[in-house]
Structure formats: C-alpha cells, structure tokens
Chain A
Amino acid sequence: MAEPMKIRATLQGDVADVRILMLHPMETGQRKDAKGEIVPVHFIQSVVVTHNGKTVLDAQWSQAISRNPFLGLRVKGAKAGDKMSVTWTDNKGDKRTDEVAVAAAS
C-alpha cells in the first residue's frame, strides 16, 4: 500500500486552507535506472478531494507534475472538524486515500 500523504487543513474564517504532500515517483518514462534500463512511466493521473463526502476538486495530472507532488486548494463553507478526504490514483491503478479533520485557526 502506498505511503501516507501529509494533509493540513486549517480554517481561515470559513475557508479551509488545504495543503497535501504526496509521495510518488511521478516517473516520466524517460529515466534510466542504475542498470541502464528505462524506468517505466508511473505517475498520479487523478486526485479527488472531498469535503464531508462531497467532491470539491477533481484533478487530472500528467507526468509533468513534480516528483513527490504537492496540491493546495481552498474549500469554502468549512467548519472545524469537517472531514477532508484526498484520493489519488496512478496510471498503474494504485490508489491512496487519506483524510483529516479541518483544524481551527491557531
């Protein structure tokens, strides 16, 4: 199972500032490994973010997104304790879902 994401979701007024760090090689299919063999293309193609179960962002990515990718978004009408869930799916069909509760502004 893929490595966990790090998700921060902090309230600014009634907007949740959501920041997601993911671990993924985002291979372009152009790189050769130490043995001189091409590392096959392997990257996140889809990221879906939901707020209390309702989709708020649906992203399509190419292999031009950086390795160990980052996604930032802002969700309206949020309250402390609301559930933010993030799911990524890559071109091999691997998935990862992580979720956090929106934290009150510190």
Chain B
Amino acid sequence: MLKLRGGIAAIAFICLSGSGHAADPLAVGRQMLAEDNPGDLWVLRGEKLFYEKRGPKQASLEKCDLGLGPGKVEGAFAQLPRYFADTDKVQDLESRLLTCMIGLQGFKREDVIKTRFSDLDRDSDMEALVSFIGSRSNGLKMNVPLSHQKEKEMFKAGEYLFHRRNGPLDFSCATCHSEDGKRIRLQDLPNMSDPRQMQAVVATAWPAYRGTQSTVRTMQHRLYDCNWQMRLPDLGYVSDMSIALTSYLNYSGNGGVIQLPGVRR
C-alpha cells in the first residue's frame, strides 16, 4: 500500500509538469479515449432531435434562433452566452434551447427540466442537442460577445460569483481554480485566471463525454456538479447564477479553437 502511494505521488509529480508529456502516465488513456469519443453518438442523436418534428406543436427546432438567425447552427456555440432581444436577457445554449423547445415545440418547461440531466436508465434530449450544436462550431474560435449592457452585467456578475467565497467550506470557484499546477487527487484543476488555459478548457469541454457518468455532460451540469462539490445548495438549471458564471468563463476562453464534444473522466 505504501509502495503504491509513493508510486502515485511520484507519478503525480510528473503530471504536474504538464499533460501530453511522454512521461505522463495518464496521457495514453486520455488520448485513446479522445480519438474515438462515444460523445460522437450524442452528436448523431442530437442532430436527429433538432430536425425532428416533436412536442405538442409537432415542430422541429429549425426555426430556433441561437443568436445567428433562425436555424443557423454553424458557429452558434462559439458566440454563446449572449443577449437575445426576444427574451430581453442574456442566455446560454441550454436556456436558449429551452426557450425554443417551449416556444416552438410546445414542451412544458418543468418536463424538459425534469430530464435535463440523464441517468443510466434515462436519456436526456438536452445533452444530445448540446452535443450536436457544440460540434457545429468545431474549428471555429470561441467568440463570446461583450457589447450589450446586459452582457456586460452578466459578465461582471459571473466574475463576482467566481471569486465569492460561500457555503460551509467557505470555497469560491477561485479557491480551486486560480493557481497553476493544482489538482485534486489526479484531476488537474485549470487555472481560470490564465487565458491560455481557459482557451484550451472552454473550447474542448463542455459538452464532453464523461466516462464516470457514461454520458455527455454539459456546462450546466458541470456548474451544478461544482456547486455540489462545494456543498452549496443545488444550482438552479439555467438560473441567472449559472448563466453569469458561464458568461464569465466562456468569455475568458475567447480565441480557443473549438473541438466538441470533449471527453473527460
């Protein structure tokens, strides 16, 4: 047991010096998974769902405006979150899809929210749709706008929330995510005040296929999970807090070349 711990500590030290290294014992596994990503199957299902006539109104999502005009999917992920005039608010991808599923297809808000995150016995349409739309920005650079007054306000709110300590552990996001070379066990923690790291992180997750969850998880799920890790109350799905954090984080990743869905532990 002691021998193993010593070995892991030694290996972890190598990990700290950067992933993608020849000496990195995690690199082989990560690369093999990335080359053939089960998340691609979510992209296929999401595409089917996007163009299928569904819901009480028996309509597809082809008229859904994700910021570039109705039905324009290419490049949509790269510029979210952003302000939408028709709802007069800043929306991320998931809240915008929710708007369209309710408005265009007639789904009930509570029904969509009930199945927003899949489990091993039930799929989530949202996870597939996010995978599909994310993939249609592949090769493009993150380009989240910060021009409208409400976009600026959301960004500032997100920045504040990112640094605000709260909850029983007195953690903020920054507690774990503001220094280089930090990790929890073998999980590297990106330094979110470093634009270079943010470009790599934001453009390749989320959405990402998570091996431990056997599904694609989205940004909303990641933030929900972080909240859970910090022992905070449940983060409301597509709540202002979640969108503020997403605005702040996605904008920090501007310039990153998108490759989605990613693959994570």
Interface, chain A (partner B; CB < 8 A) = 3-6, 19, 21, 23, 25, 31, 33-34, 39, 67-68, 70, 72
Do residues A23 and B120 form an inter-chain contact, with CB atoms below 8 A? no
C-alpha spacing A27/B44, complex, angstroms: 23
Do residues A21 and B119 form an inter-chain contact, with CB atoms below 8 A? no
Do residues A70 and B120 form an inter-chain contact, with CB atoms below 8 A? no
C-alpha spacing A31/B41, complex, angstroms: 24
- Give the residues in chain A near B121, CB-CB below 8 Å: 33-34, 39
Residue of B35, B38, B45, B214 with most chain A CB atoms under a 10 A cut-off: B38
Interface, chain B (partner A; CB < 8 A) = 35-38, 40-41, 44-45, 119-121, 214
> A3-B45, A6-B41, A68-B214 in contact; A19/B36 too (CB < 8 A)?
yes
Count A/B pairs, Cβ under 8 Å. 31
Do residues B36 and A21 form an inter-chain contact, with CB atoms below 8 A? yes
Q: Which residue of B lies closest to A8 (CB)?
A: B36
> A19-B36, A21-B36 in contact; A68/B41 too (CB < 8 A)?
yes
Which residue of the partner chain, among A25, A31, A68, contacts B38 with CB atoms under 8 Å?
A: A68
Q: Can you list 27 contacts pairing A with B, beta carbon distance less than 8 Å?
A: A3-B41, A3-B45, A5-B41, A6-B40, A6-B41, A6-B44, A19-B35, A19-B36, A21-B36, A21-B37, A21-B38, A21-B40, A21-B41, A23-B38, A23-B41, A31-B120, A33-B120, A33-B121, A34-B119, A34-B121, A39-B120, A67-B214, A68-B38, A68-B41, A68-B214, A70-B36, A72-B36
Q: Which residue of B lies closest to A4 (CB)?
A: B44
- Give the residues in chain B near A34, CB-CB below 8 Å: 119, 121
Q: Which residue of B lies closest to A33 (CB)?
A: B121
C-alpha spacing A21/B119, complex, angstroms: 20
- Give the residues in chain A near B40, CB-CB below 8 Å: 6, 21
- Give the residues in chain B near A25, CB-CB below 8 Å: 120
- Give the residues in chain A near B35, CB-CB below 8 Å: 19
Q: Which residue of B lies closest to A27 (CB)?
A: B120
C-alpha spacing A19/B37, complex, angstroms: 10
- Give the residues in chain A near B37, CB-CB below 8 Å: 21
Do residues A70 and B44 form an inter-chain contact, with CB atoms below 8 A? no
C-alpha spacing A29/B38, complex, angstroms: 22
- Give the residues in chain B near A23, CB-CB below 8 Å: 38, 41
- Give the residues in chain B near A68, CB-CB below 8 Å: 38, 41, 214
C-alpha spacing A3/B41, complex, angstroms: 9
Shortest C-beta distance, B35 to chain A (Å), equals 8
Shortest C-beta distance, B255 to chain A (Å), equals 27
Q: A23-B38, A23-B41, A70-B38 are in contact. List 14 more A-B contacts (CB 8 A).
A: A3-B41, A6-B44, A21-B36, A21-B37, A21-B38, A21-B41, A25-B120, A31-B120, A34-B121, A39-B120, A68-B38, A68-B41, A68-B214, A72-B36
Shortest C-beta distance, A81 to chain B (Å), equals 23
- Give the residues in chain B near A31, CB-CB below 8 Å: 120
Q: Which residue of A lies closest to B214 (CB)?
A: A67
- Give the residues in chain A near B214, CB-CB below 8 Å: 67-68
- Give the residues in chain A near B120, CB-CB below 8 Å: 25, 31, 33, 39
- Give the residues in chain B near A33, CB-CB below 8 Å: 120-121
